[in-house]
Structures are given as C-alpha cells and as structure tokens.
Amino acid sequence: MNKKLLKVAVTTALTVAFAVPAFANPFSDVPAKHWAYDAVNKLAKAGVVTGYGDGTFKGDKTVSRYEMASMIATAMQKNLNNDQKEIVDQLSKEFATELNSMGVKVEALDKKVDNMVKISGDARVRYAALENNSDDTDFRARVSFDGKINDNMKFNARVTTGDVKYDDAFTTKSSINLDTANVTFNALGLTNTIGRQDIKLGNGSLMDTQMTGLSSNLGGLKVFAGNMKDQNRIYVGEYGLNIAGAKITADYVKNDTTGDDTYGANASFKLTNGVAALGEFYKTDGTAVNANAAAYGLKFNKLGLTALYRDVEAGALPLYSNMRIDLTPVANNNGFKGLEVQYDRALAKNTTLNVKYQDFEDQNGIELGARTAATVNVKF
C-alpha cells in the first residue's frame, strides 16, 4: 500500500471513530443546505465515495467539515472522469484548510509506521537437469525482519528453510535456520554492519554467501572481516566506480586460514542502446592453488539475454562463489570452460523467471554434460 492510500485509510478510520468525541468537533458542522452536500451526493451515487448507510446523507443529518474533508480525500485517490474531477477540485478548494490539517496529522502517523518492524521475504523454486543424468528440484523460503532501533541504528534478521529438495523429509526443527542477524549503524563517517550478513562481490562469481563479522562502507568502498560458515577467517575489500559509462569493481579476498589471496575485477560497458559488454577476471594465489578464472560476453537488456564464455582453471572456483550453490554445480577438479546462456524475465509483479543453460568441458577437453536450470523467485 503506498503512502497516499495509507493516509486516506488512516484518516477515514480516525474520522469515523474519533472525530466528534475525541477532538470535540474542532471544525464547525457543514450547514445542511451547503452546496457540498449535493456535490458529495453525486460522487456517492457514482460510487466514488460513500456517505451514511446507502451512500447518501439523510434529512437534516449534518457532518463536520473534518468528516467532509475525509470523504474528499478519498475521492482524490480515485480514477475520475472530467465531471467528477471538476467537482472534486471545487470541493478541495472549499475544504483546503481541513485537508492540510489532515495531512499534518497523517504525517505523524507515517512516522510511527516507519518505526515499526517491516516484514518481507522471498520464495524460490528451482529445477535443474544434467545431460545423461538425473534431474532435481528444490524449494527455499526466507522471511526478513527489519526495524529501527534509533535514529542511528537499525537491525535485520532473516529466517530461512534452506534448500529443501522436493523429496526431502521436511521438519521445522531441522530445516528452519537463522540466516542473518545484524545491526547497522553510522560511525566515523562509515556505514557499519556487525553480525551475520550477506556478502556479495561483483556479480557473485567470486563471493556470494553469508558471513559473520563486521563490514564498513564509504561511497564505493566496502570492507569486511569475519568468518565463513566453515570458520575460515576472511578479509574482503571491494571498490566500485563508474568511468565514462562503464561500471567497474575491483575485489580482494584474503583467506587467512588457507593462506589464499584472490584478486579480481569485473566490468560492464555499454556498446549500444540495450547492449552491454561484460567481463570478469580473478586470480587466486596460495600454497595449494595458483589459478585464474575469466568470463566475457554480451548482455541484451531488452531481450533479457546474457551470453558468456567461461574459462575457469582447476581450483580457481572459490568455495564462496554463487556457482557453487547451483542445484547442479560444476565439478572443479580439472576446471571447466564453455558457453553459458541466461534468460531473465519478469513474469508478474515481484515474480521473476531465470533460465540458464551451460555447455562446459573440463580443461582437458572432456565433456561435462550440458546443464539446464530454471528458477522462479517470488518476493513478498
């Protein structure tokens, strides 16, 4: 519900319930023969507003100017024809003082609403099939709670079912988990978040996971220090900027437990209207791994299509990459390379479809089997 509709609903409810007794009729009654009665009656008969009982005013029944303004405020939110709009414009001028006063009262109520805990969430269904192999389907639902602690501090908590396969035995005790729980505040000119939180670098190929620790943001720079799910100590830095219409991010990840350092960058360049060139590269140096990964291709915004060629050397796919959490993830023992095509489309309001096709072989030229996946995500 948008703010205008909320204002009308709250104002109408307050007017009907409390206008006369609670406010001691702050505005004088509208005289029974006032032209506004006929005007509002015309709107009531057209279904634009409702009056008393059957939608009209009875006999010498009078209403306060506040009540009349409430009905006008309701009418102002409707789709009106030219005649109705002319009537509403005349009424709004006549009751301008009352309308302005109601706006002041509702602004105070809006502030209370802003301080309330907001509940939102998403639900996802995924299907994936691997060539010459079995297919699979899973489901995930998450609910987020966001609220304001004070003018400089807010909190977030999110509960998730995790990825539940369609044939899994689902039990609340074993499946419902606290996915994120953190507090965000401003200090030293930085926006800081402490606790378990989402950490995503670039488009997520390098990192897209939940971690526990402290992150700080200043403009295009963000840094993080904390632990992964496997207790690895991680340090992260990312800097994003726009140069001549190109969006570029530079990334660094330090795995203090394994001793690996990963350096990366990704970029998006507009070629023509609706077409962009994409590229990403990251390199991992460590005691056990020294490997590179790259991807490049085109994105057709109007069509919702993205085509990439990926070239990932053995061991170069990070444990915290979003490619690791696909329903049919690619084996990284010998690396992989090949074509990836993705289609994204909005099915309805807050509902999206993602279809992905991958045709990879390992770095030795052995086919890994084509992968096809479809995901429907709904936000609420």
Asked if 295 and 280 touch (Cβ cutoff 8 Å), the reply is: yes
133: which DSSP letter?
S
Among residues 85, 113, 141, the one where a domain terminates is 113
pLDDT at 230: 61
Neighbouring residues of 159: CB distance < 8 A, sequence distance ≥ 6: 142, 143, 176, 177, 178, 179
Q: How far apart are CA 313 and CA 352, in angstroms?
A: 32
Q: How far apart are CA 353 and CA 347, in angstroms?
A: 6
User: 306 and 203 in one domain?
Assistant: yes
Asked if 279 and 251 touch (Cβ cutoff 8 Å), the reply is: no
Q: How far is CA 38 from CA 33, 110, 247, in A?
A: 9, 33, 60
User: 247 and 167 in one domain?
Assistant: yes
User: 163 and 72 in one domain?
Assistant: no
Q: How far apart are CA 216 and CA 222, in angstroms?
A: 6
User: 46 and 153 in one domain?
Assistant: no
- Give me the number of domains the chain comprises: 2
Q: How far apart are CA 105 and CA 71, in angstroms?
A: 16
User: 223 and 335 in one domain?
Assistant: yes
User: 355 and 233 in one domain?
Assistant: yes
User: 69 and 30 in one domain?
Assistant: yes
pLDDT at 327: 84
Q: How far apart are CA 67 and CA 36, in angstroms?
A: 12
Neighbouring residues of 363: CB distance < 8 A, sequence distance ≥ 6: 313, 314, 334, 335, 336, 337
User: 155 and 76 in one domain?
Assistant: no
pLDDT (tens, 9 = 90+) of the chain, 380 residues, equals 444 444 444 444 444 343 333 333 334 677 777 888 888 888 888 877 765 444 455 545 677 787 788 888 888 878 888 888 888 888 888 888 777 776 644 454 456 556 778 899 999 999 999 988 878 999 999 999 999 999 899 999 999 998 888 766 554 445 788 999 999 999 988 999 999 999 999 889 899 999 999 999 998 899 999 987 666 889 999 999 988 889 999 999 998 888 889 999 999 999 998 999 999 999 999 877 899 999 999 999 999 999 999 999 998 988 889 998 888 888 777 899 999 999 999 999 899 999 999 999 999 999 998 999 999 999 98
Task: Please measure the distance between the N-terminal and C-terminal CA atoms of the chain and give it in whole angstroms.
Answer: 12
Asked if 195 and 212 touch (Cβ cutoff 8 Å), the reply is: yes
Among residues 113, 142, 177, the one where a domain terminates is 113
User: 263 and 197 in one domain?
Assistant: yes
| Residue range of the domain that includes 62 | 3-113
Task: Supply the CATH number for residue 175's domain.
Answer: 2.40.160.10
Among residues 82, 113, 144, the one where a domain terminates is 113
User: 343 and 231 in one domain?
Assistant: yes
User: 186 and 44 in one domain?
Assistant: no
Q: How far apart are CA 203 and CA 58, in angstroms?
A: 64
User: 154 and 107 in one domain?
Assistant: no
Q: How far apart are CA 293 and CA 54, in angstroms?
A: 71
Tokens for 143, please give them: 């609910």
